[in-house]
Amino acid sequence: MFPYLNFFGLNIPVYWLCGLAGGGCCAVLLIVRHRVFPGLKQVDITNAAALGLVGMILGARLLYLLTMLPLVLENRDYLREHGDVLKDILLNGMVFYGGLFGFLAAVLIYLKKYRLELPLFWDYAAPCLPLFHAFGRIGCFFSGCCHGLESEHFGLVFARSIGGPSDRPLFPLQLVGAACEFCLFTAVLLFEKRHRGEGKALYFYLTVYAVGRFIYEFFRGDEIRGIYAGLSVSQWISLVLLAAMIIRFFIRKRRPVNTEA
């Protein structure tokens, strides 16, 4: 579609501009929400956000490389002869789930190290996750990646796509994904408002996202992302995540409630 923006001779990926816009919106959201979370210090918020960003980049790249590993091993002879293809494989690509887990892991390490209140922070930061992802999906639309199945009636031809075919109409699943993420963002905000301070907003997001992502993957048309036993890598991860959330729910439910004497 529109993968690059030429700025004084420099080709800036529109995907990254969308990421920047998403980051900016998240920053505004955090500043506005700080009024209802006065217990959180500004230094902790900015530190956790920056470290989360580092974790997101590393996690997304690592998971991508892991998903590409079988393909690389299967084609090692070919890739040995075509070093540029191997270079492109290694330098390009990220997986959202890797970024999500990397972000959460980095923030968790920081919060644990400085003994900060986890439920409060998760409630504070949870709405940022779907908001940022929504902008990421818009970036995918401009780049032509993460597209949907071929569709004659509802498809678009991504003429200058750098992430998918540009010769046939494809369903703009990225826009549907972005719309769903905006809806999820609203839902997380409303849920958090109702259960403020309980630390449930993050788990609500993870549960709903896992279910949604599992269904969403059936409409994806880019098979290069990896299909194993009929399900994509993201679907497998969604199943594991959903199972973890269900187990956590039952464990928390069985915990004895503290009663006053």
Partner 1 sequence: MSDFEDKLKETLESAKEGLGDVADMAKDSFEEVVTEGKEVVEEAKATISGKKLETDVEGAAGYRADESTNSTLAIIALVVGILSIVFAFIYVWIGLVLGIAGIIISAKARKQSQTKMATAGFVCSIIGLALSAVFLVCALACAATLFAAGGLSGLKG
Residues that bind partner 1 (CB under 8 A): 3-4, 12-16, 19-20, 43-44, 46-47, 50-51, 53-54, 57-58, 60, 64, 67-68, 70-71, 74-75, 78, 82, 84-85, 88-89, 91-96, 99, 110, 114, 136, 139-140, 143, 145-147, 161-165, 222, 224-226
Question: Least Å distance between CB 83 and partner 1?
Answer: 10
User: Shortest gap between Cβ of 26 and partner 1 (angstroms)?
Assistant: 14
Asked whether 186 and 192 are in contact (CB, 8 A), the reply is no
Closer residue to partner 1 in complex, CB, 38/256: 38
Range 203-211, long-range pairs (CB < 8 A, 24+ positions): 203/245, 203/248, 203/249, 204/126, 205/126, 205/129, 205/130, 206/241, 206/245, 207/242, 207/245, 208/184, 209/130, 209/184, 209/238, 209/241, 210/238, 210/239, 210/241, 210/242, 210/245, 211/238, 211/242
- In sequence order, the 6+-apart residues with CB closer than 8 A to the CB of 227 are none
CB 181, min distance to partner 1, A: 14
CB of 198 to partner 1, least distance (A): 27
Q: Which is nearer to partner 1, 67 or 207 (CB)?
A: 67
Query: How does strand 169-170 pair with strand 156-157?
Result: antiparallel
Q: Toward partner 1, which CB reaches closer, 200 or 213?
A: 213
Instruction: Please identify, using beta-carbon distances, which residue of 170 and 201 lies nearer to partner 1.
Output: 170
Q: Is the dihedral of CA 150, 155, 160, 162 positive or negative?
A: negative
Helix-helix angle 42-74:96-113, to 10 degrees = 140
- By beta-carbon proximity to partner 1, the closer residue of 130 and 163 is 163
Q: Looking at beta carbons only, is 77 or 260 nearer to partner 1?
A: 77
- For the bound state, the minimum distance from the C-beta of residue 164 to partner 1, rounded and expressed in Å, comes to 6
Residue 73 Cβ vs partner 1, minimum distance, rounded to whole Å:
10
